[in-house]
Chains A and B, each alone.
Chain A
């Protein structure tokens, strides 16, 4: 599976408060109702905490979730 790069994911200016280091873009596995997407997102290189930028969470991710909603 190729990693998806999205313009909403921008690591610039974000730091991990716990590890006190800059976030860097890293491939992250998103899974929702059995469908998987590998997306490049800002993540802490030390503890692995991932930031899902708000425009992505409320935009494309929300739309994907809606399309995958089942009965």
Chain B
């Protein structure tokens, strides 16, 4: 409530788990953090911490007050978020950033470049996500994307509500040309009612679908990102998954985010600043089971795996091949260490180093959340030229070593057919549970790999950056 650091414990009651703690000034608190199967006891993926190579801050006041990163942070950066504007053209009732119209100035291009330089120095070629506010409102977004792409970051992603892409037909192609690889598209449901409740506006579904179409056509991978709120859109999980599969290969993944209570959020709060009612929370296992129940078993709760990068209690994921008949074939399986890496040989039986998980996650995100290799080129090849060839020009020919096209692959063997389909039609299904003042668990925070990059060079774990006290006072984020 007041953001003081206090001891907390996980308490099991049947299949549910609660984080309980007592503040010397404000009394006892508890919040549900896990409901039902798969049970928390079996949901583990231990890691040996990987400390920052060049910590920006010292460990002086203790976690979570030293972020920068401090020498005690246990995971490297997988994705660095750069918030380039506070402005937003939506003003949603739910917003972790409390963005709106009354906003401080945008980051200037030199500030963005300096922030990217600091990320590269601290974290190497991680993935970059431009965020906000609504980053598409930044007048120099294209330059920012071009700069990040030229600096060798693995994947340059835009976290957007999609409205500008829907308004301006040339927006997505311009960003694609600048080097944008992927969009994290706010996408809360399959009915307009879900958007109205969460975003406060009518007609958004149509605009979002148009944005999907335009980004996909431009060769930018699309990840649908629903914020899931009990009673509002928690019955649309299956519909969202089916929609994502139907929009494959343009849509590369669907990434659910259970609502967290920081920034601006809906009501259902306990009196006296004691946090949201448990009924206002939906936990990761409920999402897993909901996906199974609402798709008639198209996916199974048991398909999902804990992450190898961030803390196990922060997320789940599974990957599927979208078959020609619309069915989903699970591809992911438990990745038990094979024992052949130098680290595993040096310390057999020890949990793998966290940074190995971060490296895998970076590579996976880069491959899966971007458009399939050659997607934009294929689309361009399929588009007839707009201008006639000059007289005497050589006839257009295919490159001598072009990838075999789909028709050729289908004529090959079954392995060829699997490869041809899997090159383009893999869909990732994942969820990440953010932490708020009532659920913050420092063990999870120390394993965080999603870091907000500040203009002063600090990297702050996402949940610490967005944390707000019961009265709205932020721990790190500046008030708009």
Contacts and interface: CB of A to CB of B under 8 A. Distances in A.
B360 A6 contact: no
Interface in A17-56: 33-35, 37, 39
Contacts of A4: 413-415
B426 interface: yes
Given A64-B419, A69-B360, A7 B331 contact: no
A70 B413 contact: no
A33 B416 CA distance: 19
B364 A70 contact: yes
Contacts, number: 63
Contacts of B414: 2, 4-5, 37
A5 B413 contact: yes
B317 A35 contact: no
B333 A63 contact: no
A35 B419 contact: no
A67 interface: yes
Nearest to A68: B331
Given A6-B413, A37-B415, A64-B419, A71 B333 contact: no
Interface in B255-309: 305, 307-309
A7 to B, nearest CB: 7
Interface centre among A2, A4, A64, A70 (most CB of B within 10 A): A70
B331 A71 contact: no
Interface of B: 305, 307-309, 317, 319, 330-335, 357, 360-361, 363-365, 367, 413-416, 418-419, 422-423, 426
A60 B419 contact: yes
A71 B330 contact: no
| Range of interface residues on A (Cβ < 8 Å) | 10 to 19
B220 to A, nearest CB: 21
Contact of A60 (B335, B364, B416): B416
A33 B335 contact: yes
Give 8 nearest A-B pairs by CB, closest first. A34-B333, A71-B364, A4-B414, A71-B361, A33-B333, A67-B422, A60-B415, A70-B332
Contacts of B363: 69, 71
A53 B382 CA distance: 36
Contacts of B334: 34
Contacts of B331: 33-35, 67-68, 70
B360 A70 contact: yes
Contacts of B357: 71
Interface centre among A6, A37, A71 (most CB of B within 10 A): A71
B426 A67 contact: yes
Nearest to A4: B414
22 contacts: A4-B415, A6-B413, A6-B415, A7-B413, A33-B331, A33-B332, A33-B335, A35-B331, A37-B414, A64-B415, A64-B422, A67-B423, A67-B426, A69-B360, A70-B305, A70-B335, A70-B364, A71-B307, A71-B308, A71-B361, A71-B363, A71-B365
